[in-house]
A and B are shown apart, each in its own frame.
Chain A
């Protein structure tokens, strides 16, 4: 039987480990909802209500700037937060924030366990913030 290179087993071993390393951070886009009626400050109240109904209570609020902050409950380190920002032109965005969050363009690299909570929070906001026609 022909001799194999000595490093081949180690290379194959490393490749199999690489295949098993699926628990790292994942890339998610910045999420949001809208557009609602521009200039409608009611979306802020509705967003706070919807977040509370989804089990997220704001730890920081800044209604003058249309912003409030929620804690991510899925983060085992309890360091990651979601920043909800309301815009004057009727949009609402939700951005993850914290030491293990990396901004990549308009997306974020987040711990895998936070991804589902991030999406579910935005779905909860969609259910709670209703479009009010002018």
Chain B
């Protein structure tokens, strides 16, 4: 069972960073297991592809990336900041509209399958909540560590003192499992109880305080809502929460 638990912990830690080795799109190639343009290297420090790219013939070099080349005579902006100031004429400068033509004849139709829209919503800072609960978890693990070391030392006449279940008590459990007296030997494991148990208490208290602060405050986040939602005031409970796999949200709309 313990082996399974440790395997699970490693799987949780590694899963997000493991990607399937697949071909890269648009002529990019896999460099250090990332998709970069030919001629580039992947910077582990900046987490991006760096260097002058060697673009495929159908693409044009643009800074450290390659962009679509629609018209061979159309210029490509020299820097993203230039394009950002171009407004509605940016597509023309990218060589987009003249070559595209005005027809929407071959465009698909969406019908009634309307998408959702992105929106800024106000809610709880889940990152801070996760951070606070992680600190609490580490403190809780310290409590178990205290109990585990206490058990391993078999202090009560060469046997367990039976104080390990106290480690499951939040906040003070680790300290209690080290200092509690059980059995005929009436032994206090002060060393483990104080050296590991007190940090366990401190971490759990800090985690709890941070969680209270996180739950009581609010922050802006990006959310989603169906297009065409009626305006007006409505209150609803929605399954799911921003930035989470599962949860329950209260949705107040004006």
Q: A residues engaging B (CB < 8 A)? A: 1, 4, 7, 9-14, 16-17, 19-34, 39-41, 44-46, 48-49, 52-53, 55, 57-61, 63-66, 68-69, 71, 73, 76-79, 81, 85-89, 91, 93-94, 99-100, 106, 111-112, 115-116, 118-120, 122-123, 126, 128, 130
Contact = CB atoms under 8 A, between A and B. Distances in A.
B191 to A, nearest CB: 22
State the majority secondary structure of interface residues on B: mixed
Contacts of A94: 115
Given A23-B16, A59-B68, 17 more contacts: A12-B168, A14-B4, A19-B133, A24-B15, A41-B102, A48-B90, A49-B94, A53-B83, A53-B87, A77-B35, A79-B35, A85-B108, A87-B110, A89-B110, A106-B113, A106-B115, A119-B224
Contacts, number: 230
A25 B15 CA distance: 10
B35 A29 contact: no
Interface stretch (B21-29, B196-204, B209-217): B21-29
Interface string B41-78: 01000011100000000010010011110100000010
Contact of B19 (A12, A41, A73, A100): A100
7 contacts: A10-B2, A21-B12, A52-B80, A58-B67, A77-B35, A78-B36, A119-B224
Given A29-B115, A89-B109, A63 B9 contact: no
Chain B interface residue bracket vs A? 35 or more
B66 to A, nearest CB: 6
B146 to A, nearest CB: 13
B165 interface: yes
B252 interface: no
Interface of B: 1-2, 4-5, 8-9, 12, 15-17, 19-20, 22, 24-26, 28, 33-36, 42, 47-49, 59, 62, 65-68, 70, 77, 80, 83-84, 86-92, 94, 96-97, 99-111, 113-118, 120, 130, 133-134, 137, 140-141, 144, 162, 164-165, 168, 182, 222-224, 227, 240, 243-245
Given A48-B96, A85-B108, A63 B101 contact: yes
B77 to A, nearest CB: 8
A57 B117 contact: no
A65 B90 CA distance: 20
A29 B116 contact: yes
B55 to A, nearest CB: 10
B227 A32 contact: yes
State the majority secondary structure of interface residues on A: mixed
A58 to B, nearest CB: 5
B140 A99 contact: no
- In order of increasing CB-CB distance, the 7 nearest A-B pairs are A32-B115, A63-B100, A66-B107, A119-B222, A57-B67, A119-B118, A29-B116
B113 A60 contact: no
B90 A87 contact: no
B137 A19 contact: yes
B96 A45 contact: yes
Contacts of A41: 100-104, 107
A30 B70 contact: no
Contacts of A53: 83-84, 86-87, 90
